[in-house]
């Protein structure tokens, strides 16, 4: 069975950004090859040209070495804002094997987490992962593929008895339960305010247009629920 981190698995890469980075520091293709050789990668100038033209793509190891040779942050060469677990790992120039060792997780289990977009690590492994990748605890669920579960619990909390969801959400988001409880209390009150406004206008029969406005505002608030939760739990 082939590894998802073999040379056939290419990372995100922008030929235009690679060329721009090389030109910014005034290197020729040959100069880049010399720098790569110093890093243990021997590639001909034609390879660099192929990367810059889009005819070929660098492997993970080649991407890391190219970023070092060009004095360019890896995310710039990737031309993405890291969102997935793999993208965050690449941005920090970790191989899967090295990151797995750092957090004390079998490489196969870590590989599945990336390919399945679902994190199964322990609390300790999750804390080590957040530290290695420079993530805030509240960012881990989205990166680790747990965002859907987080949103589901948040919706249930604001729409029902929020207290019973404090512990599950604290465990999922790897946050202090007291801080999560405070955030849920605020979110529940904000959601209740929408319902009170809606019912008030319904009883007063102020018209369908006003009711639609309130419903639209509530829907927009629900779409930003994870961000609002993150803001409340990261506050002082």
DSSP string, the chain: ---TTSTTSPPP--HHHHHHHHHHTT--HHHHHHHHHHTT----HHHHHHHHHTSS---HHHHHHHHHHTT--HHHHHTS---SHHHHHHHTT--HHHHHHHHT--HHHHHHHHHHT-----HHHHHHHHHHHT--GGGHHHHTT-HHHHHHHHHHHHHS-GGGGHHHHHHHHT--HHHHHHHHHHHHHHHHHHHHHHHHHHHHT--HHHHHHHHHHHHHHHHTHHHHHHHHHH--
Cβ–Cβ < 8 Å for 40, 61: no
- Lowest mean pLDDT across 1-10, 113-122, 142-151, 178-187: 1-10
41-68 pLDDT, tens digit per residue, is 999 999 999 999 999 999 999 999 999 9
Chain CA centroid to CA 121, Å: 16
The CATH code of domain 85-143 reads: 1.10.260.40
Whether 15-78 shares its CATH topology with 85-143 is answered yes
153-184 pLDDT, tens digit per residue, is 888 998 888 999 999 888 877 788 999 999 99
Nearest by Cα to 10 from 50, 40, 45: 50
What is the pLDDT confidence band of residue 119, given thresholds at 50, 70 and 90?
Answer: confident
What is the pLDDT confidence band of residue 222, given thresholds at 50, 70 and 90?
Answer: confident
What is residue 139's predicted lDDT score, i.e. its pLDDT? 74
What is the pLDDT confidence band of residue 121, given thresholds at 50, 70 and 90?
Answer: confident
The CATH code of domain 15-78 reads: 1.10.260.40
Residue 11: C-alpha distances to residues 17, 74, 160 (Å)? 14, 11, 43
Domain ranges across the chain: 15-78, 85-143, 147-234
- Lowest mean pLDDT across 10-19, 89-98, 136-145: 136-145
Q: Is the pTM higher than 0.95?
A: no
What is residue 108's predicted lDDT score, i.e. its pLDDT? 94
């Amino acid at each position: 069975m082939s590894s998802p981190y073999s040379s056939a698995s290419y990372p995100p890469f922008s030929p235009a950004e690679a060329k721009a980075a090389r030109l910014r520091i005034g290197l020729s293709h040959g100069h880049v090859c010399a720098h790569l050789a110093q890093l243990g990668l021997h590639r001909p100038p034609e390879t660099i040209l192929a990367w810059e033209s889009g005819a070929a793509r660098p492997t993970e190891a080649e991407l890391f070495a190219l970023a070092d040779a060009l004095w360019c942050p890896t995310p710039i060469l990737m031309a993405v804002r890291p969102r997935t677990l793999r993208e965050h790992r690449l941005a920090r120039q970790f191989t899967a094997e090295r990151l797995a060792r750092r957090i004390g997780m079998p490489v196969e289990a870590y590989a599945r987490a990336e390919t399945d977009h679902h994190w199964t690590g322990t609390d300790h492994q999750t804390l080590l992962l957040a530290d290695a990748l420079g993530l805030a605890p509240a960012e881990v669920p989205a990166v680790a593929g747990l965002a859907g579960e987080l949103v589901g619990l948040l919706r249930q909390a604001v729409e029902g008895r929020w207290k019973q969801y404090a512990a599950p959400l604290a465990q999922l988001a790897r946050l202090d339960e007291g801080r999560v409880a405070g955030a849920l209390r605020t979110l529940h009150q904000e959601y209740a305010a929408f319902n009170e406004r809606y019912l008030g206008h319904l009883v007063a029969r102020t018209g369908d247009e006003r009711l639609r406005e309130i419903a639209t505002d509530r829907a927009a608030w629900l779409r930003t629920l994870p961000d609002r939760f993150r803001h409340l739990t990261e506050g002082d």
